[in-house]
């Protein structure tokens, strides 16, 4: 398979391993609404934020959507689009070294993206999907990079979004580039069909289970005038007007649907009528998801959403939330987590919250935004606005100290549950099933083995029998008798005084903190 090479690649291919694990702090004052809704906004460089989140979410994310800087060379906007932000410049200098001075902006962009994509891969559920927005500047390199990291065989599509409504007549080449791409890799997407469990029969309709379907069209009035007309309910007389892109059915077909009692009329005249779609008629009608996404949605729709929430152009080029909603429906089922590590104005969170409300299901989001002004003043404000509307909430988090200090010792600020989460993840590659409780040395089981942690935050770095962070014969006997686990045990502690033969007999592997905690 062809791979991509660029100046600085060698320095970054394994860099994700060297990124320190940090603590994550929740800021109650900046969090909004229900803290247990499962939604997070993390302010920080996504490289460090992703590493910090990994022990909790590895393999658990169903859908990743990212919209990284497109590297167009723009500098005057709210955020830097050309990887020349101070944070990324200094990061490149540190990681790539002297060579970084000679990198072209494309090399720099690839250096920036590679370790972040490597970490993102660790989050993805085996059936999960990653969507990446990009334009012509970097699409070629990015697609090869994604093939290299996620696997060529997991390529789903290079979707096209017509983002510009009107042609650009000022280009030097004469070509008006009116589209962007969304690259998709991973397991299969859902397609435009519906799953059977979405069909219910709340009104005992004799035609059986049904689900509500959209009736909004996709054509302008000029293109399909026969689909543009005001729709009026014959029962209530409410006139619901006509959507901007018309209806899906012409007047004749609509009249037939009305006579067959297939239309769901909202009580509010501002609502949008929908159709009853019956399972019996729908079976085996699953269709492919078109590679042309967001038809009828343009960049200006995203901008309009920002203007409406903030009363000004607080963020440039935000994606329309309806575009992200289309992707979420494809990539994330009920209960799934969606991760966006280049959150910008928070469109992904906005889309998740509103799509949940309309589907009456519960997906959760994790957003990361590096900029210390954008995250609290734009992303959080937008999420608060939508959360308050739909009755949800999110936790606002920042990155804390590294788990290990410069000498490799556990940082004294690290609590028992934080270290337990980290140890469990490093031992198993999976997130800890339940937040650990300092009262229990058993922090979790995985497949056939049980994992234990002996730690006393007051005596970090000092092996002390009195502090309880040393595996002694007495502690071992207590552990063996306190649970009826029959498989192998792995015990992490600062020290061990039990002879090897006794450990072997008990089926126990001792691992010393911090040296034998081996993360990704
Ligand atoms: C193109 S914008 C995303 C726009 C977003 N999709 C929206 O609709 O608002 C990219 C965002 O990524 C952020 N960003 C860039 N590098 C980052 C990094 N290393 N970690 C986290 N965020 C980063 C920028 O500050 C910017 O807000």
Dist CA 119 CA 12 (whole Å): 12
Dist CA 119 CA 123 (whole Å): 7
Q: Say what the pTM is.
A: 0.81
Question: What pLDDT score does 421 carry?
Answer: 94
Classify domain 9-191+288-402 by CATH number.
Answer: 3.40.50.150
**Alpha carbon nearest to ligand 1 atom 19, residue:** 45
Cα–Cα distances in Å, from 105 out to 4, 47, 83, 112?
16, 19, 7, 10
Q: Which residues, listed in sequence order, are joined to residue 134 by a DSSP beta bridge?
A: 181
* Interval between CA 66 and ligand 1 midpoint (Å): 8
* Interval between CA 367 and ligand 1 midpoint (Å): 10
Among the listed ranges 102-116, 142-156, 252-266, which one has the minimum average pLDDT value? 102-116
Dist CA 82 CA 75 (whole Å): 7
Ligand 1 pocket (Cβ < 6 Å) reads 45-46, 67, 69, 79, 302, 315, 318-319, 342, 344-345, 347, 368-371, 374
Q: What does the pLDDT look like over 474-515, one tens digit per residue? A: 999 999 999 888 899 999 999 999 999 999 999 999 999 999
* Interval between CA 375 and ligand 1 midpoint (Å): 10
Among the listed ranges 83-87, 346-350, 362-366, 456-460, which one has the minimum average pLDDT value? 83-87
Domain ranges for the chain: 9-191+288-402, 194-285, 416-512
Q: What percent of the chain is modeled with pLDDT above 70?
A: 96
CA-closest candidate to residue 143, choices 185, 104, 177, 105: 185
* Interval between CA 184 and ligand 1 midpoint (Å): 19
Is 247 or 75 the better-scoring residue by pLDDT?
247
Dist CA 447 CA 489 (whole Å): 11
pLDDT class of 20 with cuts at 50, 70, 90: very high
Task: Answer left, alpha or beta for residue 391, where phi above 0 means left and psi between -120 and 50 means alpha.
Answer: left
Is the predicted pLDDT of residue 216 greater than 90, yes or no? no
Q: Give the position, in ligand 1's atom list, of the atom nearest the Cα of 379.
A: 9
pLDDT class of 286 with cuts at 50, 70, 90: low
Handedness of CA 508, 509, 513, 519 (dihedral sign): negative
Dist CA 441 CA 435 (whole Å): 12
Is the separation of the CB atoms in 100 and 110 below 8 Å?
A: no
Q: What does the pLDDT look like over 290-306, one tens digit per residue? A: 999 999 999 999 999 99
- Look at the chain and count its residues: 520
Q: Which residues of 403-417 are buried (b: 16+ CB within 10 A; e: fewer)?
A: bbbeeebbbeebebb
Cα–Cα distances in Å, from 479 out to 180, 423, 486, 505, 514?
58, 18, 12, 14, 21
* Interval between CA 60 and ligand 1 midpoint (Å): 22
Question: What pLDDT score does 462 carry?
Answer: 80
Helix axes 46-57, 105-123, angle to 10 degrees: 10
Dist CA 463 CA 348 (whole Å): 46
What DSSP designation does 261 have? Answer: T
Q: What is the signed CA dihedral for 82, 84, 86, 88, rounded to 10 degrees?
A: 80
* Interval between CA 340 and ligand 1 midpoint (Å): 9
Q: Give the position, in ligand 1's atom list, of the atom nearest the Cα of 319.
A: 8
- Average pLDDT of the segment spanning 306-327: 96
Question: What pLDDT score does 222 carry?
Answer: 86
Question: What pLDDT score does 329 carry?
Answer: 92
Question: What pLDDT score does 194 carry?
Answer: 54
Is the predicted pLDDT of residue 189 greater than 60, yes or no? yes
Question: What pLDDT score does 460 carry?
Answer: 77
Question: What pLDDT score does 91 carry?
Answer: 85
pLDDT class of 221 with cuts at 50, 70, 90: confident
- Name the residue of 132, 369, 375, 398 whose CB sits within 8 Å of the most ligand 1 atoms, as the mutation to test its pocket: 369
* Interval between CA 134 and ligand 1 midpoint (Å): 12
CA-closest candidate to residue 433, choices 138, 144, 55: 55
- Name the residue of 77, 79, 383 whose CB sits within 8 Å of the most ligand 1 atoms, as the mutation to test its pocket: 79
Question: What pLDDT score does 220 carry?
Answer: 80
Dist CA 302 CA 294 (whole Å): 12
Is the separation of the CB atoms in 238 and 232 below 8 Å?
A: yes
* Interval between CA 210 and ligand 1 midpoint (Å): 40
**Alpha carbon nearest to ligand 1 atom 7, residue:** 318
Handedness of CA 240, 245, 248, 253 (dihedral sign): positive
**Alpha carbon nearest to ligand 1 atom 21, residue:** 370
3-class SS of residue 133: strand
Is 214 or 121 the better-scoring residue by pLDDT?
121
Question: What pLDDT score does 193 carry?
Answer: 59
- Measured between its terminal Cα atoms, the distance across the chain in Å is 26
Residue 442, H or E segment: strand 442-446
Is the predicted pLDDT of residue 472 greater than 60, yes or no? yes
Per DSSP bridges, beta strands 489-493 and 364-369 are: unpaired
Is the predicted pLDDT of residue 159 greater than 90, yes or no? yes
Q: What does the pLDDT look like over 409-444, one tens digit per residue? A: 899 889 999 999 999 999 999 999 999 998 899 999
Mean pLDDT taken over the chain: 91
Q: Which residues, listed in sequence order, are joined to residue 303 by a DSSP beta bridge?
A: none
């Amino acid at each position: 398979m062809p791979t991509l090479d660029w100046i600085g690649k060698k320095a970054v291919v394994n860099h994700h391993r060297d990124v320190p694990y940090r603590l994550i702090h929740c800021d109650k004052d900046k969090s909004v609404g229900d803290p247990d809704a499962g939604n997070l906004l993390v302010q920080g460089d996504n490289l460090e934020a992703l590493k910090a989140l990994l022990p909790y979410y590895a393999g658990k994310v169903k859908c990743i959507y990212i919209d990284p800087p497109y590297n167009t060379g723009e500098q005057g906007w709210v955020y830097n689009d050309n990887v020349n932000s101070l944070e990324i410049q200094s990061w490149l200098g540190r990681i790539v070294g002297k060579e970084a001075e000679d990198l072209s902006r494309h090399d720099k962009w690839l250096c920036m993206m590679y370790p972040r994509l490597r970490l993102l891969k660790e989050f993805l559920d085996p059936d999960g999907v990653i969507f990446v927005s990009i334009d012509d500047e970097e699409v070629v390199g990015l697609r090869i990079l994604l093939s290299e990291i996620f696997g060529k065989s997991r390529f789903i599509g290079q979707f096209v979004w017509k983002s510009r409504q009107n042609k650009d007549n000022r280009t030097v080449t004469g070509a008006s580039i009116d589209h962007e791409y969304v690259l998709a890799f991973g397991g299969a997407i859902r397609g435009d069909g519906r799953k059977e469990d979405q069909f219910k029969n709340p009104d005992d309709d004799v035609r059986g289970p049904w689900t509500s379907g959209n009736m909004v069209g996709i054509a302008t009035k000029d293109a399909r005038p026969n689909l543009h007309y005001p729709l009026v309910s014959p029962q209530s007389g409410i006139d619901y007007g006509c959507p901007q892109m018309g209806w899906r059915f012409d007047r004749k077909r609509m009249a037939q649907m009305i006579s067959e009692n297939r239309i769901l009329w909202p009580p509010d005249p501002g609502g949008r009528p929908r159709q009853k779609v019956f399972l019996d008629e729908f079976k085996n009608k699953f269709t492919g998801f078109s590679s042309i996404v967001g038809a009828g949605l343009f960049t200006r729709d995203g901008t309009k959403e920002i203007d409406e929430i903030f009363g000004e152009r607080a963020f440039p080029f935000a994606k329309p939330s309806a575009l992200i909603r289309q992707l979420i429906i494809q990539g994330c089922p009920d209960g799934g987590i969606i991760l966006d590590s280049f959150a910008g104005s928070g469109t992904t969170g906005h889309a998740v919250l509103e799509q949940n409300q309309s589907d009456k299901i519960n997906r959760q989001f994790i957003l990361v935004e590096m900029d210390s002004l954008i995250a609290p003043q734009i992303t959080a404000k937008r999420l608060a606005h939508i959360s308050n509307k739909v009755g949800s909430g999110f936790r606002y988090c920042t990155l804390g100290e590294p788990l290990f200090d410069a000498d490799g010792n556990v940082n004294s600020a690290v609590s028992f549950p934080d270290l337990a989460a980290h140890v469990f993840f490093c031992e198993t590659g999976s997130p800890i099933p339940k937040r650990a409780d300092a009262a229990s040395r058993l922090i979790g089981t995985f497949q056939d083995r049980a994992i234990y942690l002996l730690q006393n935050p007051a005596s970090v770095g000092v092996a002390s029998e009195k502090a309880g962070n040393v595996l002694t014969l007495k502690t071992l006997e207590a552990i063996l008798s306190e649970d009826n686990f029959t498989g192998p045990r792995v015990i992490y502690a600062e020290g061990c005084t039990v002879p090897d033969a006794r450990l072997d007999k008990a089926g126990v592997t001792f691992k010393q903190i911090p040296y034998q905690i081996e993360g990704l």
